[in-house]
Structure 1
Amino acid sequence: MLKSYLTPLLKVALASWAMLLPSVAIADSHDHPIGDAVSELPIFDAHIHYKEPAWEPYPVESVIRLMDNTGVAMGLVSSTPDEGTIMLWEHAPNRVVPELRPYHGNAGSSNWTEFPEMQQYLEGRLHAHPHEGIGEFHIRNRKMWDEDLFRSIIEMAKNLDLFLHVHSDAEPIRWLYDLDPDVKIIWAHAGLGEPASEVYRLMSQYPELVADTSLREHAILGYGDNLDPEWKKIVFDFQDRLMVGSDTWVNGQWDNYEGIIASNRQWLSKLPRSVAEKIAYKNAERLFGRDISMELIGTK
């Protein structure tokens, strides 16, 4: 009797387990690193500069060819001066999201906030061309915390629904949010000089803050086969607000562009496909209202 009693229960249990197996397998596949399949993902490069010293050695055709060779479907581009961005955008409008860098003439990264005509310059360029962000610009020290100028910049950005792309440590980001909690910010290099603990703290404090990870790829990779533990926590906890980038700030970065993108694919390869896709291109699709796919490769 015991055997006849247990058999039906075992059958039910085994049937239930069999029904669970597919979902367990799917969950495991979702958690498994994407690995070599990362090469299939289009990349949105969220930190490109096309500065004047690059124009001759890297004409616009060669820049798009580098993007093609590395699977970079689209990029966020700013330049010193802005004419470089517009040249690249006019050559390949489907591959370039232009943003306006304030630097021009004698206005550079350390003194651009001191120029009395800066507000008029920004307004004029924003009116003349379809920029989708203001930056990347530096806030190096408190001397640059010009409240009147930044309030006007924030107003311009909000009126046109633009991001501010800010190169700074954590405190200027807090200051900008104090000026206006609704400002849209991309934190360049995820703070660069800031330790991972401070990056995590700031991203937690401001749930709308977006960051690009340009120049951070080696820190994220860490040593051995695993990502750096602190950066791994940042990547997973803020996976909806990160984008990769190259930062072609000097021609040496263009010289090594393929290696830079390969390094980014290397750390993305250690993530589950769903997370890798977000950081590679899907977050940019949402933030900039674009369709990004490998079908853009080879096009303009």
Structure 2
Amino acid sequence: MAIVTIPRAALALPILLFLSCGPAGSGEAPIGAAVQDLPIFDAHIHYKEPAWEAYPVESIIELMDRNGVAMGLVSSTPDAGTIMLWEYAPNRVVPELRPYHDDANSSNWAKAEGMKTYLRGRLERYPHQGIGEFHIHQLDTSDEPLFRAVIEMAKERDVHLHVHSGPEPIRWLKSLDRDVKIIWAHAGLSTPAEGVHALMKEFPDLLADTSLREWDIDADGRGLDPDWERIILDFQDRLMVGSYTWVNSQWDNYDAIIESNRKWLAKLPREVAEKIAYRNAERVFRRTISMDQIGTR
């Protein structure tokens, strides 16, 4: 599959057109076009089976290179996709274990036979740095025994759960074990900004990736949304960007997705932009992330 190289100078032009001043109350100038020089940690990548033929592993790393994505958190349906990508480019991939495989999917995985055995076996075999991303569409407290086992597996390895849900399942998981580490996928996705702020404030160790929220944050291109600006500034140490490549069309649009994230990061002070782009991920996953990784595996 052919991949066209886009000059980074050209990518910077849209950012220059949208810059004005830094976030209200920040007192600092925005990083602006210099955002193009920041490495990105993509905290929500899927490499699912339908992508394997259309986007072989080498093309995924080429896409990351082209967009200054130094490293990414990868989970896949099935997990074999994550392992293929990690084995090809261990310097660029932080693997996490998604429960979905065979007939276990986002709707029924918590009730699938043998799920505990499956998860423990994969965790023992491969160096997964998280469990997820998994969905809790509707909270069913009868699943408590499985979730207690999942929390135990995560705590044994000192890794995060990556949870796609609304606020209440997060509160429920925290009620099972206050110390469980969680990355809230898509910052709640459809949760209004005020609800996102409330949950992040309620749980001071809760992290979130902002995949699919970039247009909410940037108010559909009109500038930083005031409610999201408050979230960003208040919780700047706990946010990471993401692309959410759940279907091949997201890989088709990867350039635009990463650029849309750089666009809103460009409106932040340098220190804040750096944290969300990659420094928070450095701390969370205990990695060194830099532009020096571009072009490596």
TM-score by length of 2: 0.90
Question: Whose helix proportion is higher, 1 or 2?
Answer: 1
Backbone CA RMSD of aligned residues: 1.3
Structure-2 residue corresponding to 1:220:
217
Matched, 1:74 2:71: yes
Q: Secondary structure at the match of 2:134?
A: strand
Matched, 1:241 2:238: yes
**2:176 counterpart (141, 160, 179):** 179
Structure-2 residue corresponding to 1:18:
none
Structure-1 residue corresponding to 2:11:
none
Question: Which amino acid in 2 is paired with 1:261?
Answer: I
Q: Is the CA contact (8 Å cut-off) linking 1:113 and 1:144 kept in structure 2? A: no
Q: Secondary structure at the match of 1:45?
A: strand
Query: For residues 85-234 of structure 1, what are the structure 2 equivalents within 5 Å?
Result: 85-143=82-140, 146-223=143-220, 225-234=222-231
Q: Is the CA contact (8 Å cut-off) linking 1:30 and 1:274 kept in structure 2? A: no
* Between 252-261 and 219-228, the greater mean CA deviation after superposition: 219-228
Question: Which amino acid in 2 is paired with 1:267?
Answer: W
The CA deviation at 1:145 is 5.5
**Residues of 2 paired with 1:265 and 1:138: CA distance?**
27
Question: Which amino acid in 1 is paired with 2:217?
Answer: I
Q: Is the CA contact (8 Å cut-off) linking 2:215 and 2:221 kept in structure 1? A: no
**Residues of 2 paired with 1:247 and 1:126: CA distance?**
23
Percent identity (aligned)? 69
Structure number, greater radius of gyration: 1
**Residues of 1 paired with 2:265 and 2:44: CA distance?**
17
Structure-1 residue corresponding to 2:22:
none
Question: Which amino acid in 2 is paired with 1:128?
Answer: R
The CA deviation at 1:162 is 1.0
Q: Secondary structure at the match of 2:256?
A: helix
**Residues of 2 paired with 1:288 and 1:204: CA distance?**
22
**1:273 counterpart (270, 279, 295):** 270
Unaligned residue ranges in structure 2 (runs of 5+): 1-24
The number of aligned residues is 273
**Residues of 2 paired with 1:266 and 1:176: CA distance?**
34
Question: Which amino acid in 2 is paired with 1:189?
Answer: H
Going from structure 1 to structure 2, the CA distance change for 1:70 and 1:150 (only over 3 Å counts) comes to same
Question: Which amino acid in 1 is paired with 2:193?
Answer: A
The CA deviation at 1:132 is 0.4
**Residues of 2 paired with 1:123 and 1:29: CA distance?**
45
Matched, 1:298 2:281: no
**2:39 counterpart (42, 49, 52):** 42
Question: Which amino acid in 2 is paired with 1:131?
Answer: H
**Residues of 1 paired with 2:26 and 2:229: CA distance?**
19
Q: Secondary structure at the match of 1:240?
A: coil
Q: Is the CA contact (8 Å cut-off) linking 2:236 and 2:276 kept in structure 1? A: yes
Going from structure 1 to structure 2, the CA distance change for 1:234 and 1:56 (only over 3 Å counts) comes to same
Q: Is the CA contact (8 Å cut-off) linking 2:51 and 2:248 kept in structure 1? A: yes
